[in-house]
């Protein structure tokens, strides 16, 4: 029987984001809310302290003439200041426009102009870029630095000055109508120019509430925030959901595996959200630590791994792993961890299995910016590694135009789905079907129990001359299992009557150097090594799915901030060059 994720408890109230935030401030006042490692120590803010700073910053914004419905950009790395600015913009009745810090200056300019942004909070590292854009063509009434500045002006001020303005003219925070626009977020643009996704307070809060009702998260949890907050996955799941639950958030000092493990250990984190590449690097870090151990320790590790792996036939590998690898988890700083949640890209099924054997739970969910973003997640007590999980409470799913295998476009409907694209009615109409379901552009199916499976993007689908459908993501997942392949991109090369399966592969030269230490490998040797790996990885697949030709690439592919490959920057140019 098909089912949705079970809601096992009531919510903590709904409303606008400021309304549910200040309710949390009242309920969890003395408890820690935000922490970050600075100047050799961890600095903390309680819910009461965070609430007071948000009140003052919102009052300061309104003292500057910031009006209800006005848009304010937010550009900077994860930090307590970013969090305060986000909440203050909304508590002043405004619309937050989070900016991806990996964008180029011309992309910043496009967003500022299209969204008609007049205020901006900006971290010092991006201040010079913003000032240069402002000098070329004025956009802003006020530019507010997230850190203290030695010099300020009538247009440029810093957070301490804004707090002081709020103290002089304090006002009660505004609680907008839930149907009002809360966030205007520009998609990362894996296919070209980004569009502005309009998310209301109701969209975001309904997603937070659905997650809270169906996932075991509460005030005793400690989140480590690693992914960029400007991305909806981290903002909803790693920021708004913990605050709604009364949990404690620690902002990671960097994306380096060593720093993440240090923060996991120091913060005693119970939950962390990430993308597949992050978890792959973490696991590789654990493997490197084992390789550096003495021979007896390495032998013991492999023996214990075989034991926990053997328990898989009874579904007890995680229980066995928790018992057998307790010492390893404690040393790695993972002893308090309850689970990892992966999103933003497909999670290779071998990764959750590998972590389970160490006694660590890793499962994935599914969503997109246009849905605030979470639509489905695996139940922690019954995850399926190949699936993105069950729909959240209140989410409807359907498969549009399924083929004989039941695979079609995944479409969703629910209160978290966006209002539309900013000033782009044509794109908004195209995003929904005739029944009001959001068209995701992802091909997939739903099994007999209601679990959702994603096969790949419709626009990436390869159709062979024999009419067979090949999903590049499936082939990439197989190739990337090789220890000598850092990353791969599979695409269809035009042939008469269809496309042929080709791949571009970035070798993992670090792994090759480690395993072939002392031997000089020429380019031909590396190509021969990768050729053997491709052949071995393709062996289990049907012949029509196998890579017919591959090309080597020296540098990593251009990616979005959530590590998705920007195919549109690589494939058309590559095909054009190969066809010459």
Full DSSP string of 290-357: HHTS-HHHHHHHHHHHHHHHHGGGGT-HHHHHHHHTHHHHHHHT-TT--EEEE-SSPPPTHHHHHHHT
Tokens of 576: 């054009």
Angle at which helices 317-324 and 295-310 cross, to 10°: 150
Judged against a pLDDT cut of 60, whether residue 189 lies above it is answered with: no
23 SS3 class: helix
Q: What is the mean pLDDT of residues 385-398?
A: 96
What lies within 8 Å, CB to CB, of 93 at 6+ separation is: 62, 67, 68, 69, 70, 174, 176
Tokens of 70: 């006005």
Does the CA dihedral 237-241-247-249 come out positive or negative?
Answer: positive
CATH of the domain at 46: 3.40.50.980
How many CB atoms sit inside 10 A of residue 132's CB?
10
Does the CA dihedral 507-513-516-522 come out positive or negative?
Answer: positive
Q: What percent of the chain has pLDDT over 70?
A: 98
Q: Model pTM?
A: 0.89
| Pairing of the two strands 95-98 and 119-122 | unpaired
Establish if 1 belongs to a structural domain.
Answer: no
Tokens of 211: 């997650």
Q: Are 360 and 319 in contact (CB under 8 A)?
A: no
Check whether residue 364 and residue 511 sit in a common domain. no
Establish if 4 belongs to a structural domain.
Answer: no
Check whether residue 451 and residue 476 sit in a common domain. no
Judged against a pLDDT cut of 70, whether residue 192 lies above it is answered with: no
Q: Are 298 and 289 in contact (CB under 8 A)?
A: no
Judged against a pLDDT cut of 90, whether residue 218 lies above it is answered with: yes
Q: What is the pLDDT of residues 115-157, one digit of tens each?
A: 999 999 999 999 999 999 999 999 999 999 999 998 888 899 9
CATH of the domain at 553: 3.30.300.30
Tokens of 561: 């901030």
Q: How far apart are CA 367 and CA 388, in angstroms?
A: 9
272 SS3 class: strand
Residue 389 has what DSSP assignment? B
Predicted pLDDT at 345: 84
Domain of residue 529 covers 461-579
| Owner of token pair 């079609």 | 408
Predicted pLDDT at 564: 81
Establish if 185 belongs to a structural domain.
Answer: yes
Check whether residue 100 and residue 172 sit in a common domain. yes
Q: Which of 374, 372, 371 is nearest to 343 (CA)?
A: 374
How many CB atoms sit inside 10 A of residue 419's CB?
18
3-state secondary structure 105-169: HHHHHHHHHHHCCCEEEECHHHHHHHHHHHHHCCCCCEEEECCCCCCCCCCEEEHHHHHHHHHHC
Confidence class for position 213, pLDDT limits 50, 70, 90:
very high
Predicted pLDDT at 191: 52
Q: Domain end: 237, 267, 297, which one?
A: 267
Q: Are 354 and 283 in contact (CB under 8 A)?
A: yes
Predicted pLDDT at 431: 96
Q: Domain end: 405, 436, 458, which one?
A: 458
Q: How far apart are CA 561 and CA 551, in angstroms?
A: 25
Establish if 289 belongs to a structural domain.
Answer: yes
Confidence class for position 466, pLDDT limits 50, 70, 90:
confident
Check whether residue 439 and residue 499 sit in a common domain. no
Q: What is the pLDDT of residues 262-289, one digit of tens each?
A: 999 999 999 999 998 899 888 888 888 8
Judged against a pLDDT cut of 60, whether residue 360 lies above it is answered with: yes
Predicted pLDDT at 497: 84
Check whether residue 453 and residue 467 sit in a common domain. no
Establish if 12 belongs to a structural domain.
Answer: no
Q: How many Cα neighbours within 13 Å face the side chain of 195?
A: 18
Q: How many domains does the chain have?
A: 3
Confidence class for position 4, pLDDT limits 50, 70, 90:
confident
Check whether residue 232 and residue 280 sit in a common domain. no
Termini Cα distance of the chain: 54
Check whether residue 258 and residue 343 sit in a common domain. no
Prior bond of 212 cis (ω within 30°):
no
Check whether residue 417 and residue 467 sit in a common domain. no
Check whether residue 29 and residue 163 sit in a common domain. yes
| Pairing of the two strands 248-251 and 271-274 | unpaired
Higher pLDDT, 194 or 412: 412
Judged against a pLDDT cut of 80, whether residue 563 lies above it is answered with: no
Q: Are 526 and 512 in contact (CB under 8 A)?
A: yes
Predicted pLDDT at 243: 98
| Integer angstrom CA distances of residue 549 from 272, 521, 564 | 38, 22, 23
- DSSP states along 513-536: HHHTTT----HHHHHHHHHHHHHH
Predicted pLDDT at 580: 73
Helical (H) or strand (E) element with 208? helix 201-214
Check whether residue 395 and residue 472 sit in a common domain. no
Q: Domain end: 235, 267, 299, which one?
A: 267
CATH of the domain at 382: 3.40.50.12780
Q: What is the mean pLDDT of residues 417-439?
A: 96
Higher pLDDT, 404 or 22: 22
Establish if 539 belongs to a structural domain.
Answer: yes
Q: Are 473 and 491 in contact (CB under 8 A)?
A: no
Check whether residue 70 and residue 203 sit in a common domain. yes
Predicted pLDDT at 290: 84
How many CB atoms sit inside 10 A of residue 316's CB?
14
Check whether residue 212 and residue 357 sit in a common domain. no
Establish if 2 belongs to a structural domain.
Answer: no
Judged against a pLDDT cut of 80, whether residue 322 lies above it is answered with: yes
Q: How far apart are CA 316 and CA 333, in angstroms?
A: 23
């Amino acid at each position: 029987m098909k089912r949705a994720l079970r809601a096992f408890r009531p919510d903590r109230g709904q409303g606008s984001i400021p309304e549910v935030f200040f309710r949390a401030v009242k309920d969890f006042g003395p408890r820690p809310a935000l922490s970050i490692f600075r100047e050799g120590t961890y600095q903390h803010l309680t819910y009461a302290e965070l609430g007071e700073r948000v009140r003052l910053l919102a009052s300061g914004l309104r003292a500057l003439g910031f009006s209800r419905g006005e848009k304010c950009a937010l550009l900077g790395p994860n930090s307590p200041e970013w969090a305060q600015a986000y909440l203050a913009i909304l508590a002043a009745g405004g619309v937050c426009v989070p900016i991806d810090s990996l964008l180029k200056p011309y992309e910043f300019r496009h967003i500022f102009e299209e969204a008609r942004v007049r205020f901006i909070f900006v971290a010092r590292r991006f201040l010079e870029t913003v000032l240069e854009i402002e000098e070329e063509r004025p956009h802003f009434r006020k530019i507010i630095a997230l850190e203290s500045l030695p010099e300020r002006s009538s247009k440029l001020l810093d957070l301490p000055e804004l707090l002081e303005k709020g103290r002089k003219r304090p006002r009660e925070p505004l609680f907008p109508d839930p149907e009002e626009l809360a966030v205007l977020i520009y998609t990362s643009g894996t296919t070209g120019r980004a569009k502005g996704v309009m998310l209301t307070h109701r969209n975001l809060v309904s997603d937070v509430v659905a997650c809270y009702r169906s996932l075991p998260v509460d005030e005793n949890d400690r989140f480590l925030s690693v992914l960029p907050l400007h991305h909806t996955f981290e903002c909803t799941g790693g920021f708004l959901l913990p605050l709604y639950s009364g949990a404690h958030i620690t902002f990671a000092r960097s994306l380096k595996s060593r720093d993440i493990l240090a923060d996991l250990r120091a913060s005693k984190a119970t939950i962390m959200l990430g993308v597949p590449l992050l978890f792959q690097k973490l696991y590789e870090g654990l493997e490197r630590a084992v390789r550096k151990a003495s021979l007896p320790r390495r032998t013991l590790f492999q023996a214990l791994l075989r034991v926990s792996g053997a328990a898989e036939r009874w579904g007890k590998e995680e229980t066995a792993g928790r018992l057998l690898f307790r010492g390893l988890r404690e040393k790695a700083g993972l002893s308090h961890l309850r689970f990892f949640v992966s999103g933003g890209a497909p999670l290779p099924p071998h990764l959750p299995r590998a972590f389970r054997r160490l006694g660590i739970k890793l499962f994935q969910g599914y969503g997109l910016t246009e849905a605030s973003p979470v639509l489905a997640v695996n139940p922690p007590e019954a995850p399926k590694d190949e699936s993105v999980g069950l729909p959240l409470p209140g989410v409807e799913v359907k498969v549009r135009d399924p083929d004989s295998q039941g695979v079609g476009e995944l479409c969703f409907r629910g209160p978290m789905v966006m209002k539309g694209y900013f000033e782009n009615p044509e794109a908004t109409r195209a995003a929904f079907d005739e029944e009001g379901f959001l068209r995701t552009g992802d091909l997939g199916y739903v099994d007999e129990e209601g679990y959702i499976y994603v096969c790949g993007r419709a626009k990436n689908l390869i159709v062979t001359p024999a009419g067979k459908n090949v999903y590049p993501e499936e082939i990439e997942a197989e190739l990337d299992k090789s220890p000598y392949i850092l990353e791969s991109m599979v695409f269809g090369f035009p042939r008469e009557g269809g496309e042929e399966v080709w791949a571009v592969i970035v070798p993992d030269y670090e792994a090759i150097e480690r395993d072939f230490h002392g031997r000089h490998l020429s380019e031909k040797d590396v190509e021969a090594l990768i050729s053997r790996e491709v052949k071995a990885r393709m062996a289990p697949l049907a012949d029509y799915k196998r890579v017919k030709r591959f090309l080597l690439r020296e540098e990593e592919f251009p990616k979005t901030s959530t590590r998705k490959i920007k195919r549109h920057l690589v494939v058309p140019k590559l095909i054009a060059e190969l066809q010459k």
